[in-house]
Structure 1
Amino acid sequence: MGRRTPSSKPRCRQEESNSRQRKTHRKSRLGCRNCKLRRIKCDETTPSCEKCLDFGVTCNYDSSVPDLQPRSGSTEGIEIDSTLEKHSPATGSYVLDMVNIYLSENQGPTAANEGLLRLDLSGMERLERFNKRTVLTMGTKATPKCFRTAMVQLACIHPCVMHLVQSMTAAHDRFCAVSATSRQTTDEIYHLHRGISGMHQKLSRGIRPEDRDALFIAASILGVMMFFQIEASSVENVWPLGAGDFAWVGMSDGKKAVWRATNPLRQDSMWRAVAESYEMHFRFTEKEPTNMISVFDHLCTNSSSPPAVANPYHKTAQFLITLLALELNDTTWMRFLVFICHVDPPFRALIERKDPWALLMLVYWFMKICRGPWWVSTRAILQGQAICIYLERYHADDVLLQKAIPRPKLEFEEAEREGWGGYAFVGRSSPITV
């Protein structure tokens, strides 16, 4: 009873052996670099694998083909809004003159190390859109002239800046197409990857004087893009309800390190005027007193111990309270932006643990900036809504906390109805504000 036949045991061993052999046989290191970068299994079809064809990039078994380079003639799958201004590359404008110089002259050893960049027709049009539209969304009304002149010049000398300008403008295009929460386009991914690679090369060899201005603005653009990027099909997919990361918070530490290394306040810096404005607002808000009664007052209590040790809320809560009485406008925008610099490691640890009061503080900051530039409004509204839902769902027993939620929740709903945010899965019918 239950007795095995003589052949059953060898068959099991044979099947187990075959299984092991199949697993060993399927391990392959012959896939293209694009698939390795995207962390997907390459089908190893030559001369171009199916995964690269589907994704719209040039397959790169060949080491001479750049990573994630958009395939010639490929489309992005997003129709830009008809109101998006398009410009001919034959306008004779300052921007295109600079691009022609960039394309025709010897770029020297710096550009050769970073990889030569050749803009096609769509890239030149995208640069024109950056100069006439996207650059206006950086900084305040006083900075576009400086940004326009300096960034185009730097992009024509430093390929990493040109790549990041291209990626940022492609992201802005996606926002204007009411697709802010959709997947990044191949152009965004390609130029972002090349831009970051170029930055790493500059940093790894030691910062040279001629690279300082380029690295400062490259870090600034990268911070903008990390804050904007939030992929979701509904609010339930957004952290803390869904998965997510804090790359945008970590970028503030990186930008501070780049600030110290490049010193944009130095006498010969192209960014001296912009940096002085930033420093002025940072110092002012850091010392500004307030008599406003806030729901966060109890988080500012101190003891005899150092506040960073005894109270991880202390530094960030005190700074946030100074912002709550301010309205977001051109003169106060930089004050709201430097809030990220006051998110110190103890407070960041609270956010990562989904501490309810730390999350509420983040919600109130989102509430104040949700009608800000395009790269701010998407995350502020969508992640702000997700946090409100999370707090209502999982911390309903905290009466004081629950009383504080309706105010930001209402602000997010009103901002969304007004057309802020740039995403369409809620069924918005009003125009997008850029």
Structure 2
Amino acid sequence: MLPASAQPALAKTGQRQRKAHKKSRAGCGNCKIRRVKCDEAKPKCKKCIAFGVSCNYGTKGSTSVGELVLSFEGVSCMETPSRAPVSMNQTMLDLVNYNLRHSPTGMILGEQIYKLKAQDLEVLDKFRNRTVLTIGTDVTKWVLQAETPRLACLHPFLMHAVLAFTYAHDRLLKRVPSQAGPAELFHNYKGAALLNYRLNTDVTPSERDAIWITSTLISGIEWSKVEAESPEQAWPLRDLEPGEPDWLTLSQGKNKIWDLSDPSRADSCFRNLLVKSNLEGGDADFTPYELKDGGFHNLPSPLLDFLGLTDPQTWQSSPYYRAATIVSQLIPFEYNQSNLLKFTTFLYLMTPEFRQLWTEKDPGVVLLISYWYAKTIPYQQWWTRKRAFLECQAICIFLERYHNNIPYLDRLLEFPNRSCGLVSTQQHAV
């Protein structure tokens, strides 16, 4: 029976008046986007866990306003609610496609934005659980694993790069790698085209982060593209005319992208990566900008004579100085995931003068490149191994064929020859 005070109101309207409910003002951001009442459980609310999206509270969450971000932690082991007629994979697919369609790029290009399919989610999951862990150091790879898939679900150009990079990884892991297939070529082209498009427009902080990691993946894909099957087909033997390899041009272009994206800025999701690791590879045992212990102690003296690096008074003016400094310090290190950044300094700290001599196939530059390749070959990194192996062999043949007047050339080529398999490994190391 109703209270007496409520009977007149009910008599007038014939209906029970609805009691106003208390709104959840302290709920998480994703519940607000989906317009559902948040249970406010912390650190993650039950609604978000059940729906398979990230849960973020307050203004400092990892998501931006209007972004509904999938959770990549434990989604695969969630049970689909018994009342849900749609599979969890389809729900995730719809969420990703929604985000890509409503990204800054998607809002401009509309229906031209690629719509992901179920098999693309499988490739994305393979990237997160396997491929992304091959591109960072032992420390930074975990930051890349956490942030790259999240950003890929928000920005079409990065999603294409992630898919292309993973397809390339699959292909190059085979005993006999094949040529790139239609899916890899499509995503590689779309990723590069959309990246170039966004580089010419104003970008959001989230896009700046996505641009930086996209350029890294595209550089890796370009590096892995090696059509040669023998040293004679590889650089520098393939074409004796001056010219810069495409992968080198793209690698050097990353320096400009760094200036644009600046992952060291305060609002970058990769700032933590910079805190955990020096991207220039420097530490107490490796100083790429300056000579360690006052000399090139790990390079053969005939090489220093040929490069003109015997007189300290002329070091700073030599186009070989920076590269020789880096190579000399790399000799004691093993090329592996822990020391990956140290080895990349050979490319990313390259001086314009050295780069110009590289395009001219200068024998001094080519010799230093052969030593760098020789150090990287044993690790067998999937996107570098074929180029390093074939081009190191090609360099040794090139120097013996066209520059055999270099003093003590046989001795200078002992290390690269041995590393790339042109001579017995029983000879003594450098």
Fold shared, TM-score > 0.5 on shorter chain: yes
The answer to whether structure 1 residue 102 and structure 2 residue 93 are counterparts is: no
User: Under a length normalisation based on structure 1, what TM-score does the superposition of the two structures give?
Assistant: 0.68
Q: 318, 322, 328: which one pairs with 2:325?
A: 318
Q: What does the per-residue CA deviation read over 1:83-117, in whole Å, with 9 as the maximum and x for residues that have no partner?
A: xxxxxxx9568996754421245524432435422
Q: 1:113: which partner in 2? A: 108
Q: 195, 201, 205: which one pairs with 2:197?
A: 201
The Cα shift of 1:213 comes to 0.5
Q: What does the per-residue CA deviation read over 1:116-168, in whole Å, with 9 as the maximum and x for residues that have no partner?
A: 22222332222222112111111112223221221111111100000001111
Cα separation, 1, equivalents of 2:270 and 2:298: 38
The answer to whether structure 1 residue 212 and structure 2 residue 208 are counterparts is: yes
Cα separation, 2, equivalents of 1:256 and 1:278: 16
The answer to whether structure 1 residue 289 and structure 2 residue 297 are counterparts is: no
Counterpart of 2:259 in 1: which secondary structure?
helix
C-alpha root-mean-square deviation of aligned residues, in Å? 3.0
Cα separation, 2, equivalents of 1:340 and 1:333: 12
Q: What does the per-residue CA deviation read over 1:212-245, in whole Å, with 9 as the maximum and x for residues that have no partner?
A: 1111111111121121111123222111111485
Counterpart of 1:285 in 2: which secondary structure?
coil
Change (3 A) 1:245 1:167: farther
Q: 183, 188, 194: which one pairs with 1:187?
A: 183
Q: 336, 356, 370: which one pairs with 1:349?
A: 356
Q: Structure 2, unaligned stretches of length 5 or more? A: 1-74, 80-87, 426-430
Code of the aligned partner of 1:294 = L
Change (3 A) 1:306 1:285: closer
Cα separation, 1, equivalents of 2:78 and 2:263: 28
The Cα shift of 1:187 comes to 1.6
Change (3 A) 1:104 1:328: same
Q: Structure 1, unaligned stretches of length 5 or more? A: 1-89, 418-434
Q: 1:75: which partner in 2? A: none
Larger deviation, residues 327-336 vs 98-107 = 98-107
Q: 395, 413, 417: which one pairs with 2:403?
A: 395
- Structure (1 or 2) with the larger CA radius of gyration: 2
Code of the aligned partner of 1:120 = K
Contact 1:135 1:144 in 2 (8 A): yes
Contact 1:357 1:401 in 2 (8 A): no
Change (3 A) 1:159 1:375: same
Q: What does the per-residue CA deviation read over 1:295-348, in whole Å, with 9 as the maximum and x for residues that have no partner?
A: 24333345867844xx22222112221112222233322111111023222112
Contact 1:252 1:340 in 2 (8 A): yes
Equivalent residue runs for 1:223-242 within 5 Å: 223-242=219-238
Contact 2:157 2:192 in 1 (8 A): yes
The Cα shift of 1:281 comes to 1.9
Cα separation, 1, equivalents of 2:225 and 2:78: 31
The Cα shift of 1:349 comes to 2.0
User: Under a length normalisation based on structure 2, what TM-score does the superposition of the two structures give?
Assistant: 0.68
Equivalent residue runs for 1:46-61 within 5 Å: none
Q: 2:152: which partner in 1? A: 155
Code of the aligned partner of 1:235 = P
Cα separation, 2, equivalents of 1:255 and 1:211: 16
Cα separation, 1, equivalents of 2:413 and 2:323: 19
Cα separation, 2, equivalents of 1:382 and 1:278: 31
Cα separation, 1, equivalents of 2:144 and 2:195: 19
